[in-house]
């Protein structure tokens, strides 16, 4: 079953039943928080935390693929992160570039399709070219879609989709009555992927920080004190287990959910 381009209020009974029974999320999103604090706790520069965080990314991507997760979305650099010190932003850009160079062959070998979401126009030109090359190389892979949110914000995503639809209305390409949730969804980042089932935030904070607001409308939220560089395979599997233990109701009653779960 695919829930692409659907709002949760429009699932058929059969689709709702399948969602209720879902034990492995189709789409997991992670706010990777705690790199800087991890480094500072060890008396190291913040950039060392970001480098250690790359190893955590590698572990989580591998585990997600093994467990059968279809889409994994990682919050790498938010539109608000430009407010950080210039030196740290510059180092992050260099790290992003080098990681793309180093990791893309491994991602491709393991059937992972890389998809960068966000407004990359502000990035250095050579990074934009590297992103385009990496996406092109892995475009036909289907084992796992790895979405990396870079210069991304949830409000930006909704606004750019709304602006695209507004232009169509102004030009007469569509009427205002066709400006629907489904139409908006088709212009969002990740429009052809399932909605987010599970959102994880590491680092001990309890907020979603303008991450994928629309796509995570019915996501289960898991917050952990573990700093991102220490988030290993076991921590990821525990988050999946927490997801599987919860009762997802989608506006229904607990009794209705239990009836669906009892169906063979």
pLDDT along the chain (264 residues), means of 10: 38 56 86 96 93 94 96 92 86 88 94 95 92 96 96 96 97 95 95 95 96 95 98 94 77 61 64
pLDDT of residue 86: 85
User: Is 4 among the catalytic positions?
Assistant: no
Say how many C-beta atoms besides its own lie within 10 A of residue 156's C-beta: 17
Calpha distance 155→228 (Å, rounded):
24
The pLDDT assigned to 248 comes to 67
Which single residue is written with the structure tokens 């950080």? 84
pLDDT score, position 215: 95
Residue of 81, 110, 141, 210 marked active site: 81
* pLDDT at res. 4: 35
Closest CA to 231 of 79, 23, 34: 34
Of 4, 33, 110, 232, the active-site residue reads 33
> Does the annotation count 33 as an active-site position?
yes
Helices (H), the chain: 13-21, 35-41, 46-67, 86-109, 125-137, 154-171, 181-185, 233-245, 254-262
The per-residue pLDDT for 147 is 96
pTM of the prediction?
0.85
Give the pLDDT score at 128.
94
Contact 209, 231 (CB under 8 A): no
């Amino acid at each position: 079953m695919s829930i692409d381009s659907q709002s949760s209020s429009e699932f058929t009974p059969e689709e709702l039943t399948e969602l209720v029974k879902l034990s492995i999320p189709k789409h997991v999103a992670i706010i990777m928080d705690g790199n800087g604090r991890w480094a500072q706790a060890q008396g190291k520069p913040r950039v060392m935390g970001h480098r250690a965080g790359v190893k955590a990314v590698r572990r989580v991507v591998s585990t997600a693929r093994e467990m059968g997760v279809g889409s994994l979305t990682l919050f790498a650099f938010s539109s608000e992160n430009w407010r950080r010190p210039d030196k740290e932003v510059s180092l992050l850009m260099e790290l992003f570039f080098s990681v793309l160079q180093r990791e893309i062959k491994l991602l491709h070998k393991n059937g992972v399709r890389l998809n960068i979401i966000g407004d990359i126009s502000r990035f250095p030109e050579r990074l934009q070219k590297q992103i385009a090359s990496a996406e092109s190389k892995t475009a036909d892979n289907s084992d796992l879609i790895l979405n990396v949110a870079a210069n991304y914000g949830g409000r930006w995503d909704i606004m750019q989709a709304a602006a695209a639809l507004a232009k169509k209305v102004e030009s007469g390409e569509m009427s205002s009555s066709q400006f629907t949730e489904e139409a908006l969804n088709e212009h969002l980042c990740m429009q052809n992927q399932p909605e987010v089932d599970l959102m994880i935030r590491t680092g001990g904070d309890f907020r979603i920080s303008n991450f994928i607001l629309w796509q995570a409308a019915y996501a289960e939220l898991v917050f952990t004190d573990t700093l991102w560089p220490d988030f290993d395979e076991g921590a990821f599997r525990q988050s999946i287990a927490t997801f599987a233990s919860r009762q997802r109701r989608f506006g229904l009653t607990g009794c209705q959910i239990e009836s669906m779960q009892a169906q063979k």
